[in-house]
Amino acid sequence: MSKGFKTISFILLLTLILSFIITGCSKEEDLRKVRLVEVTHSLFYTPQYVALSLGFFEEEGLEIELIDGKGADKSMAAVLSKDADIGFMGPEASIYVYNEGREDYAINFAQLTQRDGQFLVAREPDPNFTWDKLKGKEVLGGRKGGVPFMTLEYVVKKNGLTPGVDVNLRTDVQFDVLAGAFVGGEGDYVTLFEPVASSLEKEGKGYVVTSIGVEGGYIPYTCYCALKSTIEKDPELIQSFTNALYKGMLWVQNHTTEEVAEVVKPFFPDTEDDVLISLIDRYKNQDSWKPDPVISKDGLEHLMDIMELAGELDVRPGYDKIVTTTFAEEAIKSVKLD
Q: Over the stretch 309-321, which tens digit does the pLDDT of each residue have?
A: 889 999 999 999 9
DSSP string, 312-336: --SSPPPHHHHB--HHHHHHHHH--
Q: Is 295 helix (H, G, I), strand (E, B) or coil?
A: coil
Domain coordinates in residue numbering, the chain: 33-115+219-334, 119-216
Q: What is the mean pLDDT of the chain?
A: 90
Closest CA relative to residue 264, chosen from 248, 242, 287? 248
- Higher-confidence position of 297 and 202: 297
Provide the residue type at 270 as one letter.
D
Q: Average pLDDT of 4-20?
A: 45
pLDDT digits (tens, 9 = 90+) for 256-266: 999 999 999 99
Residue 21 pLDDT more than 70?
Answer: no
Res 11: pLDDT: 46
Segment 130-169, tens digit of pLDDT: 999 999 999 999 888 888 898 999 999 999 999 999 999 9
Largest CA distance in the chain: 94
Ranges assigned E (strand) in the chain: 32-38, 62-68, 86-89, 106-113, 119-122, 138-140, 168-170, 189-192, 207-211, 222-227
pLDDT at residue 105 in the model:
98
Q: What is the pLDDT of residue 336?
A: 85
Mean pLDDT of 103-125: 95
- pLDDT: is 26 or 89 the higher one? 89
Does the pLDDT of residue 174 top 90, yes or no?
no
Once rounded to an integer, what is the mean pLDDT over residues 9-29? 47
pLDDT in tens, 235-287: 999 999 999 999 999 999 999 999 999 999 999 998 889 889 988 998 888 88
Calpha distance 131→152 (Å, rounded) = 11
| Average pLDDT value for residue range 212-233 | 94
Q: Which fold has domain 119-216?
A: D-Maltodextrin-Binding Protein; domain 2 (3.40.190)
Q: Is the pLDDT of residue 298 over 90?
A: yes
Q: DSSP character for 137?
A: -
Report the C-alpha gap between 170 and 189 in whole angstroms: 10
Confidence category of residue 199, pLDDT binned at 50, 70, 90: confident
Backbone dihedral angles phi then psi of residue 222, each to the nearest 5 degrees: -130, 125
The closest of 139, 114, 326 to 239, measured between CA atoms, is 326
Q: What is the pLDDT of residue 86?
A: 98
Stretch 51-74: mean pLDDT, rounded?
96
C-alpha distances out from residue 154 to 87, 96, 147, 158, Å: 25, 19, 10, 6
Q: Distance between CA atoms of 14 and 80, rounded to whole angstroms? A: 49
pLDDT of residue 179: 94
Between 36-50, 91-105, 189-203, the lowest mean confidence (pLDDT) is in 189-203
d(CA 318, CA 206): 41
Phi/psi of residue 310, nearest 5 degrees = -85, -5
175 has a pLDDT exceeding 90: no
Q: For domain 33-115+219-334, which CATH number applies: 3.30.980.20, 3.40.190.10, 3.30.300.10, 3.40.50.280? A: 3.40.190.10
- Rounded to 5 degrees, φ, ψ at 200 are -65, -40
DSSP strands (E only) in 102-251: 106-113, 119-122, 138-140, 168-170, 189-192, 207-211, 222-227
Q: What was the pLDDT predicted at 26?
A: 43
